[in-house]
Amino acid sequence: MMRRKLVAGNWKMNGSLATLAELDAIAQAAAAAPGVDVAIAVPFTLIHPAAVRAPGLAIGAEDVHEAESGAHTGCVSAAMVREAGASFTIAGHSERRADQGETSHDAWAKAAAAHRQGLNVILCCGETEAERDAGRAERVVQAQIEKSVPDHADGRWFTLAYEPRWAIGTGRTPTLDEIAAIHAIARAKLRHMIGDAADGVRILYGGSVVGGNAGDILATDNVDGALVGGASLTAAKFVPIIEAAARI
Ligand SMILES: O=C[C@H](O)COP(=O)(O)O
């Protein structure tokens, strides 16, 4: 099945009203690459101004709470980010797993809550360095998928992102064979869980993607796009990744 490439940025806890100016050139590059979907997740406070400034880009949240509303001080619901202009959210990012103790079950609940509000979801999985060194990367990713992918997931709203934790922000990436192996296993696991719908689900690779390695990574089997952290913060670094996706 033909799956459109998706290049998604994740600004994490970076950015300001001033840096939204980067979106102008990113939106231009996205418009010049009609075969590629381009999305950017930004801090909650920037969702609305980003959506207003760049209506041609998919703007998203980096997380949502699993409840619809209620006494959860400091948290933000899927309905709130949708009202602010988000069309998608990330769920289960490894930094939330590490910093906030989120589990795969939490990621599942957040993905389901986001879908109930009509948001698309990029759900993250990925092993630690110790797990990879112990030869457990495949089993860890399979278990995360098993516990976090909602039953009714399909490619119209659901995207999986494989992000080995040791590759995030480090400048280190797995080999292309290692990426292909995990993506094939992830696809097989999705097929086991959701049947033929798995063929429509995009599986992104994330972890130290930059302009220089994007072409090779995006051309790897079962890699349907990239989830980009550091290199999504400026148009100068992000646009080459969009252009690499457009050349595939
Ligand atoms: O969500 C994005 C990833 O965590 C990758 O971050 P990075 O591109 O800075 O390694």
The ipTM value here is 0.99
| Ligand 1 binding pocket includes 174 (Cβ within 6 Å) | no
Q: Is residue 2 very low, low, confident or very high in pLDDT (cuts 50, 70, 90)?
A: confident
What is the spatial distance between Cα 202 and Cα 105, in angstroms, rounded to a whole number?
Answer: 21
How many residues are given for the chain? 248
Q: Would you say residue 1 has pLDDT above 90?
A: no
Place of tokens 């609940």: 109
| Ligand 1 binding pocket includes 207 (Cβ within 6 Å) | yes
Is 208 a known ligand-binding residue?
Answer: yes
Q: Is residue 65 very low, low, confident or very high in pLDDT (cuts 50, 70, 90)?
A: very high
Q: Would you say residue 234 has pLDDT above 80?
A: yes
Is 15 a known ligand-binding residue?
Answer: no
| Ligand 1 binding pocket includes 232 (Cβ within 6 Å) | no
Is 85 a known ligand-binding residue?
Answer: no
The whole-number pLDDT of residue 18 equals 98
Q: Would you say residue 121 has pLDDT above 90?
A: yes
Mutate to test the pocket of ligand 1, among 170, 228, 237, 238 (most ligand atoms within 8 A of CB): 228
Q: Is residue 153 very low, low, confident or very high in pLDDT (cuts 50, 70, 90)?
A: very high
Q: Which amino acid is at 30?
A: A
Third-level CATH fold of 5-247 = TIM Barrel (3.20.20)
Q: Is residue 117 very low, low, confident or very high in pLDDT (cuts 50, 70, 90)?
A: very high
How much of the chain, in percent, has pLDDT values that exceed 70?
A: 100
What is the spatial distance between Cα 143 and Cα 241, in angstroms, rounded to a whole number?
Answer: 30
Q: Would you say residue 67 has pLDDT above 90?
A: yes
pLDDT, one tens digit per residue, over 161-195 is 999 999 999 999 999 999 999 999 999 999 999 99
Active site residue 163: yes
- Residues pairing with 120 in the sheet: 88
Q: Which of 66, 95, 163, 183 is catalytic?
A: 163
Mean per-residue pLDDT of the chain? 98
Are the beta carbons of 141 and 125 closer than 8 angstroms?
yes
The whole-number pLDDT of residue 182 equals 98
Region 205-220 average pLDDT:
98
Active site residue 131: no
How far does the centroid of ligand 1 lie from the alpha carbon of residue 207, in Å?
5
Kindly list the distances between the CA atom of residue 61 and the CA atoms of 41, 57, 74, 165, 187, in Å, as whole numbers in the listed order. 5, 13, 15, 20, 25
| Ligand 1 binding pocket includes 61 (Cβ within 6 Å) | no
How far does the centroid of ligand 1 lie from the alpha carbon of residue 71, in Å?
31
pLDDT, one tens digit per residue, over 12-45 is 999 999 999 999 999 999 999 999 999 999 999 9
Contacts of 134 (CB under 8 A, 6+ apart): none
Q: Which of 65, 93, 115, 183 is catalytic?
A: 93
